[in-house]
Structures are given as structure tokens and as C-alpha cells.
Chains A and B, each alone.
Chain A
Amino acid sequence: MIDIDTITKRYDDTEVVSDVSLSVPAGSIAVIVGTSGSGKTTLLRMINRLVEPTSGRIRIDGQDTHSLSPHVLRRKIGYAIQGHGLFPHRTVAQNIATVPKLLGWEPARIKQRVADLLTLFQLDPAAYGPRYPSALSGGQQQRVGVARALAAEPAVLLMDEPFGALDPVIRAKAQDDLRAIQRRFGTTIIMVTHDMEEAIHLGDRIAVMDGGRLLQYASPTEILTAPATGFVESLLGAADRPFRLLSLTTLADVVEPGTADGAPLSADATARDGLSALLWTGRDAAPVQSADGAPLGRVTRARLMAAARLPGQAPV
């Protein structure tokens, strides 16, 4: 549980973060979005005290971050810096081992942990562990940066645009991996991103910032269906909203009894993928089956279109 309480950061006369309060429940993911220069990185860095707030307090699990000395605090918080920040003079394995080493873990345990993390991020430990960061692609460097942040199994993880350099395929995979890790260890994550899809896909809650202010902090559905201001609405891309809304629903949520012709769809596909499949094959309905192939019913185009509609809006 991270509690940010009326936090403000001022440089000279300009307030880059103004009076922001939000709390992130333990084991959930909060995503911060906003235009460039809106104070996202500054807000994130006040949590691990890389930036000292001008006023306000931050508590992690009830404990004020100022009750610990900065380096002790930071060793407990994973931090994936904007643009990887790997140490160029250390190998990939040594980079990942940084915090465990600072914490004085046993060498055998560190080695095991490094190998596990590299495997998790689809990098062969034998091939990539001994390499220097300069011998990795940008996307690989970013994955190593995230692995390094996770190395000491932190309860809290701060990530600043961690997947910016990844192509869509690897990015989707990395997002799923992060989700899996987060579920397994119950990590509390605060993540900054520019990618709205990523925010909606990963975030339990989304914080929208503009000019240092927090405009809205709510679940993806709420942000989509009830944007607090015109700015939030435009940031989400008004034209894409129905599809984003659909991407938050799975076919299991909209399946209805009945049968239909054609290739069956999987129940854990998103409603967006379901609608896309129906449109592409020109069908009005498709059968839905569970992951193990058991028929569950069908999904109709009308039902999906209703799900994409702004709640409370009557059909014409």
C-alpha cells in the first residue's frame, strides 16, 4: 500500500507536481499517464526519494518514507529508470545482481535469481548473462533494466516507461510477464507510460496528470466512461474509446446461450478481439468455447456493440 498525501514539488517558482494525493492498494498496479513534462517522472521519483518533495508525505505500508535513510528505502523499492540506465562497465548478470549484492545475498542465491529473471524475460542466461549492455539491442536492454529492478523481490516496484523501446509483439509478452510476476509475488507497481493501450491493459487504476496536477485517478472503465475533464477524454483518444472499453471485457462476460456457425472463439479472448473476428468473417454470431474446448454458448454482434456503448446510453 502506497499512500501519497498532498505531495508538491517546486523548482524555484515553478510547481512541477502540485498537491497530488493518491493511494495504491497493495498488490495492484497504478499507471500514470500524461503529456510530456506533466510531472510523471518527478512524482515517481519522490516515492523513492530521488527527488525530495517540497511538501507532503508518502507512506509505504503505513511507514513514512522519511523514517528510513534513502539508500535503505531504495533497496526495498525496485526502480526501472526511464531509458534502462544499465551500468555499461558491468555485465548483464552483474547489473541484475546489483541490489541483491548490496543486500548481501549469498552468491549461489544471486546466481539462481539472475538466471531465473533472465529466463523469465526470454534471454538465455548462458548467452546473455556474460554480455555487456552495449552488446544488447535497445529492447533487450530495457528488459534487463526491468529484471534488475525486480532482482531483490521488492514489494514495491516503480517503472518509468519500461517498455518504450519494445516492438508490439515483445511488448505484449513483457506486459503479460509483468502481470504474471505481479500476481505471483503480490508486488505493488506504479508505472509511467505514454501508451494508452498499455495503461488500460495493465492498470488496475490509472492516474492522469497534466501540468503537475492529478486530473483523475480511477479504474480504466471509469476513466473511459466518465472522464473527469476534456483533457482526460482527449488523452484517451475519443475515437478509440469503444474499442478500449471492449478490450477490458472478455468473451466470457458477454457469452449467451445458443449456437452459431463457424470457427469457435475462446472465452478468454477480449470482447474487442471477438468483435474484430465477427466483422472480419462477416458473421452475426460465433460459438464460444472455454480454454479446454468445451462449448459455452455464443456471442452476438449486437451484444458486443452494446458492450462498447457508453453505459446508460439507450440504444437508438
Chain B
Amino acid sequence: MALSAAIQGGRAGAARFRPDRIGLVISLVALGGLCLPFATVKPNRILAGVAKTILEALPQTGSILLLAVLFVAITIACLRSPAWLRLGASVLVLLALAGAIGVSGIVLTPSGNPYARVAPAAGFWLLAFAMALLTADALTRLRPGPFGRVAALAATAVVFGFILKSGLWDNLSILKEYAVRADSFWAAAAAHVELALGSLVAAVAFGLPIGILCHRVPKIRDAVLNALNIVQTVPSIALFGLLIAPLGWIAVHVPGAKAIGIQGIGMAPAFVALFLYSLLPVVANTVAGLAAVSPSANDAARGMGMTERERLFQVELPLALPVIITGIRIVLVQNIGLATIAALIGGGGFGVFVFQGIGQTAIDLVLLGTVPTVALAFAAAVILDAVVELLSTPSVRDSAP
């Protein structure tokens, strides 16, 4: 007893001097980031740029300050420090990085040259990536509940909004791309959300009843799921192509179809394609969720005298809901990504900037399309994960004070 306690004590003592393995890896990534250029200055949006280190990109006090917080954070990351300390340190560095890149934009932009571009370079991205990892790791260790995670997301969004509004980043290349196309950016954002969310709503409206039907009539289940599986395997660009002919025909031959925007290219085929891709996850998860409802709960529902309808709405669907919402989460994240492709057939969305940027070899423009897409998908995943967790653990929720 005493001996084992002593050994345990010894272990605990040794642990204090053992480095934190994840922190060590993150620190190596951050140190790698320090060796790479922090920002690049390009004469215009297409030409190759000149790389600048942190010392060159920032005023002296600025670079010393940034390096100081960075080294404090790395030290904290390498030691076995409490999670809240790691979180605080990494968030502090992220804020410092956000400020620093804004300042280098101001410092490095030659005055009176409207074509020059300052962009974050590999070093900045690597540092930001390392600190984001540290934040994510610390958050995971803190195990925030669903509300905590959504609150963290909201706080992040507010900070970003504040920085963007303040004009701190206005000299950075992405925001310069944004500045010249602010109107089309928000139109693209609206189209993107409309495509991703609209096709999801349509897929849920059709997929949920189809899933319920498949559950109740096992004979049609395999046929329906196989058909949807096949749709899922058609490459998106091919599916757009396949839809052009029938939708074009409908536009010409069905009165009124053209008036509501149905045509061979544009939003309609993109919407239909996303809808078709969304059906499988929604239907499959509805079927899986309903199938997982415990037979005894179903049996009790029947035994209590519930009608089929009451059993569906009061027992089966509530119990299957977490699985169904998981399907919806998959669809939404998938759709937000896939909606980018819609630009290829004139469907709009953030993909417009991506493909324009590729065409013009203007990487900043590609980023203007990519960054909001990734942010949207990330936010959707966090929010829907929280919803799933809230729905699936009534007992945990109940026992909370």
C-alpha cells in the first residue's frame, strides 16, 4: 500500500518534468513557421512576390512583442500545464498574429501604389495553424458542453467581425480583392447559402418521408437506397452535365418553368444536383435511426394504445432524431463544399471567385472564395454537432444543476 503510493508519488513527480507530447509537436510546427517568411509583397495581384520575415514585416517593438508571446505560449504548450492556461496563451498568440499581419499590411504597402499586394505567407499560416491546433487541443481537454462550443464559435465570429470592421486588415490582399467586388461577394454569399441550405431543406422535405416509408415497407428499402447510392457515385460535374438536357427541355416545354428560373444551366441544375446528393444521407440516416429505436419502446408504444401516427411522432422520430440530425449535418457540410462547383455551370456561389481566381492565376481571389466556404462549413459542423448532442443525452442534460 505505502510502497505503491510512494511509486505513484514518484511517477507524479516525474510527470511534472515530462513534456506534453502534443504541445511538443505543436511547438515544432510553430518553430518551423518562424523560419519561413511571414508575409509577401507583390508588385500586383498576379506577379510573384518578395518574401519578408517577421523582423522585416513588423516594426521592431511589434516583432519583439509577437516573438515574446509566441515563446511564452510555446513554453506553456511544452509543459504539462492546465488546459485553461494553454487556451489563454494560444488565443493570445492568435490575436497577436491577427494584429501583426494587419500591421505588416500597413507597413509593407508602398505608399501611393494601388497595385501592390501584401499577403500572409507560409510562416504566418503555419504559426496560425499551430496556435489553432493548440486552441483546439485545449478546448478538447476542457470538454465544453454543446452550449460552450457554440459560445466559443460565436465569440470567434464576433472577434473576426470586429477585426474586419476595424479596417485592420484592409491592406491585405484578400480584403483588397473583396474591396473591389464587395457587391458580388455578398450576392455570391447569398447564392451559396441558398444553394446549400435550400437543397438541404428540399432533401429533408423529401428524404424524411421517403426514409419513413422505407422503414415501414422493407421491400422497397434496398431498391431506394441502392438507387440513391448510384446517384451519389456520379461525379458532380457529370451530374450537372446530365441535368442540362432534361432541365433545358423542361424550360422550353413546360409553361411557367422558365419564369421560376428553371433552365439547363445556372442555379436550377446546381440546386437539383445538390438535392440529389443530399437525399442519400438523409434517407439512409432516417432509416438507420428508425431501425435503431429499441423494439421494446415500440412494443410499449403499441401496448399503451398509440396509433401508428402517434407512435411515429411521439416515439420513433424523437428517438431517431439524433441520427437523422447527424445525416443533416453531413449533408449541410457536404453541400457547403459542393456548392462551390455550381459556379462552373453559372449557378453562382463562392465558387465564382475560386474559378475566376484560377483562371487569372490570382491566388488571393481563390482565397476570397475558399476562406468563407471553409468558415461556413466549420460553423455548420459545430452548431449541428451541438444540436445532436443536446438531442441525444436527455439524462445528462437533466442531471446538470
Given A88-B294, A132-B395, A135-B399, A99-B300 contact (CB < 8 Å): no
B99 is an interface residue with CB less than 8 A from chain A = no
The answer to whether B302 touches A74, judged by C-beta atoms less than 8 angstroms apart, is: yes
The answer to whether B299 touches A88, judged by C-beta atoms less than 8 angstroms apart, is: no
A108 is an interface residue with CB less than 8 A from chain B = no
B44 CB, nearest partner CB in chain A, Å: 61
Given A50-B299, A81-B299, A88-B297, A99-B305 contact (CB < 8 Å): yes
A10 is an interface residue with CB less than 8 A from chain B = no
A130 is an interface residue with CB less than 8 A from chain B = yes
Contact with A along B273-301 (1 / 0, CB 8 A): 00000000000000000000010110111
Bound together, the chains give a CA A83 to CA B319 distance in angstroms of 19
Given A88-B319, A91-B398, A135-B398, A81-B296 contact (CB < 8 Å): yes
Residues of chain B within 8 A (CB-CB) of A99 are: 304-305
The answer to whether B302 touches A89, judged by C-beta atoms less than 8 angstroms apart, is: no
B309 CB, nearest partner CB in chain A, Å: 10
Residues of chain A within 8 A (CB-CB) of B398 are: 91, 130-132, 135
B4 is an interface residue with CB less than 8 A from chain A = no
Q: How many residues of B contact A (CB 8 A)?
A: 20
The answer to whether A102 touches B306, judged by C-beta atoms less than 8 angstroms apart, is: yes
A51 CB, nearest partner CB in chain B, Å: 11
A86 is an interface residue with CB less than 8 A from chain B = yes
The answer to whether B305 touches A74, judged by C-beta atoms less than 8 angstroms apart, is: yes
Bound together, the chains give a CA A50 to CA B301 distance in angstroms of 11
B394 CB, nearest partner CB in chain A, Å: 5
The answer to whether B318 touches A48, judged by C-beta atoms less than 8 angstroms apart, is: no
The answer to whether B296 touches A85, judged by C-beta atoms less than 8 angstroms apart, is: yes
A163 is an interface residue with CB less than 8 A from chain B = no
Residues of chain A within 8 A (CB-CB) of B114 are: none
Residues of chain A within 8 A (CB-CB) of B315 are: 87, 89
| Selected contact of B304 from candidates A72, A79, A134, A135, CB within 8 Å | A79
Residues of chain B within 8 A (CB-CB) of A194 are: none
Residues of chain B within 8 A (CB-CB) of A132 are: 394-395, 398
The answer to whether B395 touches A83, judged by C-beta atoms less than 8 angstroms apart, is: no
Given A102-B310, A132-B395, A134-B395, A86-B300 contact (CB < 8 Å): yes
A136 CB, nearest partner CB in chain B, Å: 10
Bound together, the chains give a CA A105 to CA B76 distance in angstroms of 62
B235 is an interface residue with CB less than 8 A from chain A = no
Select from chain A the residue with minimum beta-carbon distance to B322: A89
Of B299, B302, B304, B399, the most chain A CB neighbours within 10 A belong to B304
Residues of chain B within 8 A (CB-CB) of A130 are: 398
Given A89-B319, A132-B395, A134-B395, A48-B294 contact (CB < 8 Å): no
| Selected contact of B306 from candidates A48, A71, A76, A135, CB within 8 Å | A71
The answer to whether B305 touches A72, judged by C-beta atoms less than 8 angstroms apart, is: yes
A78 CB, nearest partner CB in chain B, Å: 9
The answer to whether B303 touches A89, judged by C-beta atoms less than 8 angstroms apart, is: no
B307 is an interface residue with CB less than 8 A from chain A = yes
A65 is an interface residue with CB less than 8 A from chain B = no
The answer to whether A81 touches B300, judged by C-beta atoms less than 8 angstroms apart, is: yes
Bound together, the chains give a CA A62 to CA B394 distance in angstroms of 44
Residues of chain B within 8 A (CB-CB) of A83 are: 296
The answer to whether B306 touches A85, judged by C-beta atoms less than 8 angstroms apart, is: no
The answer to whether A98 touches B395, judged by C-beta atoms less than 8 angstroms apart, is: no
Bound together, the chains give a CA A71 to CA B302 distance in angstroms of 7
Bound together, the chains give a CA A138 to CA B327 distance in angstroms of 33
A111 is an interface residue with CB less than 8 A from chain B = no
B397 CB, nearest partner CB in chain A, Å: 9
A281 CB, nearest partner CB in chain B, Å: 47
The answer to whether A71 touches B300, judged by C-beta atoms less than 8 angstroms apart, is: no
The answer to whether A75 touches B319, judged by C-beta atoms less than 8 angstroms apart, is: no
Bound together, the chains give a CA A134 to CA B302 distance in angstroms of 21
Bound together, the chains give a CA A13 to CA B346 distance in angstroms of 63
Select from chain A the residue with minimum beta-carbon distance to B397: A132
| Selected contact of A50 from candidates B294, B296, B302, B307, CB within 8 Å | B302
Bound together, the chains give a CA A135 to CA B393 distance in angstroms of 12
Contact with B along A94-106 (1 / 0, CB 8 A): 0000110010000
Bound together, the chains give a CA A27 to CA B299 distance in angstroms of 26
| Selected contact of B303 from candidates A50, A134, A135, CB within 8 Å | A50
A137 CB, nearest partner CB in chain B, Å: 14
B357 CB, nearest partner CB in chain A, Å: 48
Residues of chain A within 8 A (CB-CB) of B301 are: 87
A165 is an interface residue with CB less than 8 A from chain B = no
The answer to whether B303 touches A74, judged by C-beta atoms less than 8 angstroms apart, is: yes
| Selected contact of A73 from candidates B305, B394, B399, CB within 8 Å | B305
The answer to whether A98 touches B304, judged by C-beta atoms less than 8 angstroms apart, is: yes
15 chain-A/chain-B pairs, Cβ below 8 angstroms = A50-B302, A70-B305, A71-B306, A72-B305, A74-B304, A74-B305, A79-B303, A84-B296, A85-B299, A87-B297, A87-B301, A87-B319, A102-B310, A132-B395, A132-B398
Apart from A76-B305, A102-B306, A102-B310, what 20 extra A-B contacts exist at CB < 8 Å?
A48-B303, A73-B305, A74-B303, A75-B305, A79-B300, A79-B303, A79-B304, A81-B296, A81-B303, A84-B296, A85-B296, A85-B297, A85-B303, A86-B297, A87-B319, A89-B315, A89-B318, A99-B305, A130-B398, A134-B395
7 residue pairs, one from A and one from B, having the closest CB atoms: A74-B305, A85-B300, A75-B305, A85-B296, A79-B303, A132-B395, A134-B395
